[in-house]
Structure 1
């Protein structure tokens, strides 16, 4: 039980040292991540559609 208490105390102490992003930074990072995910999703969807069409053309 003593080890758990020490661990939790250490966690609280370390969390106080963390440099949390400001609201503006967080918004910017979120937009960057979402736009990257959307871009990669669209990219792979187009690639998948292209490969599917090529395979469909070769089979027929």
Structure 2
């Protein structure tokens, strides 16, 4: 079994290889995610409303 010290050495080594995003990239990615979530929420809300209206019209008779 590996020692705790060896484990943390490995973690430190692997974190040194990580390419971290710049601040501008983080802002761009966050903006894309927020707009995508808002778009999908509106899309599904309108789809649900439309299907609900159709079902209501069909079952009203």
Which category describes the TM-score, using the shorter chain as reference length? 0.7 to 0.9
Q: SS of the counterpart of 1:20?
A: coil
Q: Deviations over 1:9-39 (max 9, x none)?
A: 2112111110000000100000001100110
User: What residue ranges of structure 2 are gaps of 5+ in the alignment?
Assistant: none
- Scaled by the length of structure 2, the TM-score of the pair is 0.86
Residue 20 of structure 1 corresponds to 20
TM-score by length of 1: 0.88
**Superposition pairs for residues 1-60 of structure 1, below 5 Å?**
2-60=2-60
Specify every segment of 5 or more residues in structure 1 that has no aligned partner in the other structure, as ranges.
none
